[in-house]
Structure 1
Amino acid sequence: MDKRISVPVKREKMAYKWVVLWVVLFGVFMSLLDQTIVSIAIPRLQHAFDASVENIQWVVTAYILTLGIFTPVVAFLSRRFGIKRIYILSLVAFTLSSALCGWAWDLPSLICFRILQGIGGAALFPLANALLLRVFPPEQRGLAMGFYAIPSILAPALGPTLGGYLITYADWPSIFFINVPIGLLAVFLSVKFLRELDVQKDLPFDLLGFVLVAIGLGLVFYTLSDASTVGWGSFEILSLLAVGCMALAVFVGIELRRERNHLQPLLHLSLFRNGPFLFSMLATVFLTVRLQGATFLFPLYLQESLGQTALQAGLMLLPYALASGVASLIGGRLVDRLGARAVILLGVVLLIVCTWQLTFIALDSPFWWLQTLLIVQGLALGLCYQPLIVTATAEVAPQRMALATTMNTLTRSLSSSLGIAMVATLVQIQSQVHSVQLTKSGQQAASSVASLSFVLALQDAFLLLTVVTVLALIAVLFIRGRRKQLL
């Protein structure tokens, strides 16, 4: 009789983790798809609202700023009110604000609704990670992260294609309305299938820490987003960046002191005392800078230098997306068999070779060569990203998983802004430098100077990204393979 009782319980538990996986995939896919679709729609939005570049960029900047401000509070909210409850509320907020964005009547209203989107989107990625890592045992996390990586990499790759199609054959509101059916399905599945985890009703809120990190991250995100247009040397950028960094420095000191005094901090910075977590986060920073930098540069190159339309440029990224998905699945299985460190090393080495090859990009680069490099890039990133989450959380106790995944999301958001700001500024400066040099040499016709100087600046940018990827390799080498006691 005992056997009859124990068998269905085991099967039910084994089934639930896969239910969680498929449920959270919808929310993650929707959140990441929205970011890339909106980016490619900026020129259309500028025309629709008759806005300047400085004003229209707030459609993207407002969302990024809101994510940066509200992501640190996600771990507290999930522990105080429950991961399931906060995850569903985030889905509802994101879906509703997406519909409001599509109904926006002017630019200020669109920016306000994008802020609401950022509040909802701040919790989706870290809580999806936390839900998965709580229900999958350590020996199966590689496989789970492999499946989970598919929308994480497919969405940014498919975004330009889908966005280009919607902009070409529909109007700009469609890029926001497309989130509504996905969001409603995600809400339904989450309400029906997810279970609530432990709730700490007496957990105090670190108000001072939240104020400091909101000011610090808000100013840092703003300066990183605005530096490429205003200029890194401007007084506004330097002063705001200094204030933001000072606020973050005070925040770090206060949070560490709260932990020493056994008070509840907003973010558990003591996680960085653990080697695998620290070096996994460092590798994530460098890889995200590389990914977002290249993601920013490639559409510019395909459209500005090779004359492709937004739809054609998006279609060019499809093989890259498929390669990322395949590598994520294979990489997940390899992680469980060989260990995450070996899989990540293979991916980073492939990415170094790919990025170095892109330093030879030219005005007449053959499409087969570009497509090959994009596929290699997809394979490499598929082997890197989700295994890094496995190594980062390998020694984290289940009850602190939301804290660790929140830190991971915050790290990736900061790195994304940094990567885009770095390459945008470098390309802008180096284009002017090469333009002056080409004009003085007199070897190029005036009509081709701008195009050639832009491509030479892209070569410089990819050289910088090659160095960044080598730094990621160094960080991965310091990740130990054996697990120690849970934090």
Structure 2
Amino acid sequence: MTARPDVRETELVPPPQPTTDGHRPVEPPVEAVETAEPTSPAPSGETSWVVALLVLVAGMFMSVLDISIVNVAIPVMQNDFGVTTEDISWVSTSYSLAEGVIVPASAWLGLRLGLGRAYIVAMIGFAIGSVLCGLAWDLNSMIAFRILQAIPGGVIPVVALTMLYKIVPKDRLGAAMGMYGLGIVFAPAIGPTLGGYLVEYVDWRLIFFINVPIGIVGTIAAMVWLPNFGGGTSRKFDLPGFLAIATGLFALLLGLHEAEDWGWTSYPVLILLTYGVLALALFVVIELEVDHPLLNVRVFASWPFTNSLILIAVISAGLFGVLFYIPQSLQLNQGLGAFETGLLLLPQALVMAVIMPLAGQIYDRVGARWPAVAGLIITAWGTWMLRDLTIDTSHGDLAWILGFRAAGIGLAMMPIMTGGLSALPPHRVDGASAFNTVVQRSSSAIGLAAMTALMTAQQSQGYADRASLVPADPETFGSVLGEYSMYQQLQTRVFDTAFGDLMVVTTVLTAGAVLLALMLPSGKPAPSEGPRVMEG
């Protein structure tokens, strides 16, 4: 018996059958058909795909770590550059906006260059962008270099997730996604610890230079162990669709970021948000009409996939919201340094590092539903416990609660993502990967903006409610020091109360997500004999 030759994924579509009159009908266009030249097959065998997966995890970890690690250095950058708080915030905002623009085009770039080449080019580009950021001499140069860094940073997660689904056997997807998830969830959790140490004891520029050795090693490893897959697609670039989604996401993210400073009801914010929604609606219309859509919006017809995106949005918003406000509480109310704060957050990162691979193995045995349900219940319970966080909460209790909550996130995140993507045909995974990345990035930004708005409203109400309790006569305080001390106590209590209200709202949303998790697929995934496709 001769071995069956390698075939492209789209060749698995059965040919049209002859009609009753004997004539073969014209073959309908198949959405995933490409004209790329055949290339080397994807790795087969347990060792080969595991090594390739580790290469992808390293790149994903680097690109996601950079988002959270930079936030720790923002105050130091502000002092070095001599700019205002509003101006320095553009170091993070510019990255998010540029990434939101490039992510929708990442799937097309993967097809055009070949997934392997696109990944290598993105790794090199990210390392170069990191060097430039580390060499920035003022705010304008930093913002320009952050935009350059964001372009390959947006390509890496989309291409990496698409490659993962092409090289990993279907019955091992859970375990593979558990490892892959370390880059998505573990990197943001460990970012404050690593960034805090570098900022406090070394130099803030090292948070960018640290990407260089990772990028070099990752690029060499990708050249050696990653398959290239097909490239050179002749599919036209969907320019109208790209302009619609890119400008729509840009307007939404910019409006949400500036809403706190400009005012939620200000004309610029309302115009940006309105345009963003209309542009995204136009994008859907365009993608349903063009012959070669940039992203196939028909993936949303699959309820398991759509449901998984909703759940991912809830988890991402809650994760990044807590990662933003807990350090604020520790540094502003308890006077901890950046590194001390990072050490206190380290246990939750370690818990995720342990739980996520286990969650992947559980998925391979029982499917997505039950680990997702259990994880969301734990996350909701841990978030509920955070509502009582005050300046008097011991660091040990806080670390335990955060670790408990992190166990829930680690248990739920990857089964949810894997279950959603597994419900789609293999040839739609590339576009679905882009939607996954867009949802993760935008939901964290939107969630943080909503949380900030709620916190601000609650704090304003808190100050108003307590204003009558503050003596109007400064002599009542006895001294300027006494006045300052009372103001600090008032500020801390108002922050704690507002944060508690925020955690109650987050708990309700997370608990509500449990109902959606009950609709996820259940049961052991169907086994397969190796990679899902031999060549992309």
Q: Which bracket does the TM-score occupy, shorter chain normalised?
A: over 0.9
Bigger Cα displacement from structure 2, 17-26 vs 462-471: 462-471
Report SS of the residue matched to 2:462: helix
Residue 73, structure 1, aligned to residue 100, structure 2: no
Structure 2: gaps of 5 or more residues: 4-40, 472-484, 527-531
**Aligned position for 1:130:** 162
Equivalent in 414, 424, 429 of residue 452 of structure 2: 424
Superposed CA deviations along residues 302-348 of structure 1, whole A, max 9, x for unmatched, are 11122211111100111101111111121111111121211111100
Instruction: Describe how 1:23-422 pairs up with structure 2 within 5 A.
Output: 23-199=55-231, 201-258=233-290, 263-422=291-450
Asked if 2 retains the 8 angstrom alpha-carbon contact of 1:20 and 1:131, the reply is no
Bigger Cα displacement from structure 2, 147-156 vs 90-99: 147-156
Distance 2:437 2:277 in 1: 19
Distance 2:213 2:445 in 1: 29
Report SS of the residue matched to 2:45: helix
Asked if 2 retains the 8 angstrom alpha-carbon contact of 1:305 and 1:455, the reply is no
Amino acid of the structure 2 residue aligned with 1:474: L
Amino acid of the structure 1 residue aligned with 2:498: A
**Alpha carbons of structure 1 residues 120 and 161: separation in structure 2 relative to 1, 3 Å:** same
1:368 deviates by: 2.4
Distance 2:517 2:159 in 1: 25
Asked if 2 retains the 8 angstrom alpha-carbon contact of 1:287 and 1:472, the reply is no
Asked if 1 retains the 8 angstrom alpha-carbon contact of 2:43 and 2:227, the reply is no
**Aligned position for 1:450:** 491
Task: Provide the alpha-carbon RMSD of the alignment.
Answer: 2.1
**Aligned position for 1:478:** 519
1:411 deviates by: 0.7
**Alpha carbons of structure 1 residues 174 and 11: separation in structure 2 relative to 1, 3 Å:** closer
Distance 2:44 2:92 in 1: 43
Report SS of the residue matched to 1:317: helix
Report SS of the residue matched to 1:480: coil
1:427 deviates by: 1.4
**Alpha carbons of structure 1 residues 97 and 11: separation in structure 2 relative to 1, 3 Å:** closer
Bigger Cα displacement from structure 2, 365-374 vs 314-323: 365-374
Bigger Cα displacement from structure 2, 84-93 vs 364-373: 364-373
Bigger Cα displacement from structure 2, 404-413 vs 468-477: 468-477
Bigger Cα displacement from structure 2, 50-59 vs 420-429: 420-429
Bigger Cα displacement from structure 2, 396-405 vs 51-60: 396-405
Distance 1:320 1:359 in 2: 18
Distance 1:38 1:447 in 2: 28
1:395 deviates by: 2.2
**Alpha carbons of structure 1 residues 208 and 283: separation in structure 2 relative to 1, 3 Å:** same
1:2 deviates by: 9.3
Residue 468, structure 1, aligned to residue 509, structure 2: yes
Asked if 2 retains the 8 angstrom alpha-carbon contact of 1:90 and 1:121, the reply is yes
Distance 1:435 1:464 in 2: 20
Bigger Cα displacement from structure 2, 143-152 vs 402-411: 143-152
Structure 1: gaps of 5 or more residues: 4-8
Asked if 2 retains the 8 angstrom alpha-carbon contact of 1:154 and 1:321, the reply is yes
**Aligned position for 1:6:** none
Asked if 1 retains the 8 angstrom alpha-carbon contact of 2:102 and 2:154, the reply is yes
Superposed CA deviations along residues 385-412 of structure 1, whole A, max 9, x for unmatched, are 1112211111222222211111100111
Amino acid of the structure 2 residue aligned with 1:463: V
1:478 deviates by: 2.1
Distance 2:324 2:143 in 1: 22
1:241 deviates by: 1.1
Report SS of the residue matched to 2:227: coil
Report SS of the residue matched to 2:365: helix
1:160 deviates by: 0.7
Report SS of the residue matched to 1:41: helix
Distance 2:201 2:387 in 1: 35
**Aligned position for 2:17:** none
Distance 1:320 1:421 in 2: 23
Asked if 1 retains the 8 angstrom alpha-carbon contact of 2:367 and 2:521, the reply is no
Asked if 2 retains the 8 angstrom alpha-carbon contact of 1:439 and 1:449, the reply is no
Asked if 2 retains the 8 angstrom alpha-carbon contact of 1:223 and 1:237, the reply is yes
1:372 deviates by: 1.3
1:245 deviates by: 1.2
Distance 2:42 2:72 in 1: 47
Distance 1:216 1:28 in 2: 25
**Aligned position for 2:475:** none
Superposed CA deviations along residues 271-299 of structure 1, whole A, max 9, x for unmatched, are 01001101001111111111111111111
Aligned residues: 476
Asked if 2 retains the 8 angstrom alpha-carbon contact of 1:93 and 1:120, the reply is yes
Distance 1:147 1:215 in 2: 33
1:472 deviates by: 2.1
TM-score if structure 2 supplies the norm length?
A: 0.85
1:12 deviates by: 5.2
Distance 1:138 1:413 in 2: 26
Asked if 2 retains the 8 angstrom alpha-carbon contact of 1:439 and 1:446, the reply is no
Q: Percent identity?
A: 35
Distance 2:433 2:424 in 1: 10
Report SS of the residue matched to 1:380: helix
1:13 deviates by: 3.0
Asked if 1 retains the 8 angstrom alpha-carbon contact of 2:241 and 2:294, the reply is yes
Report SS of the residue matched to 1:264: coil
Distance 1:472 1:80 in 2: 38
Greater share of helix residues, 1 or 2?
1
Asked if 2 retains the 8 angstrom alpha-carbon contact of 1:287 and 1:468, the reply is no
1:442 deviates by: 5.0
Report SS of the residue matched to 2:522: coil
Superposed CA deviations along residues 213-267 of structure 1, whole A, max 9, x for unmatched, are 1110111111122223333122211111111111111111111223xxxx11111
Asked if 1 retains the 8 angstrom alpha-carbon contact of 2:42 and 2:166, the reply is no
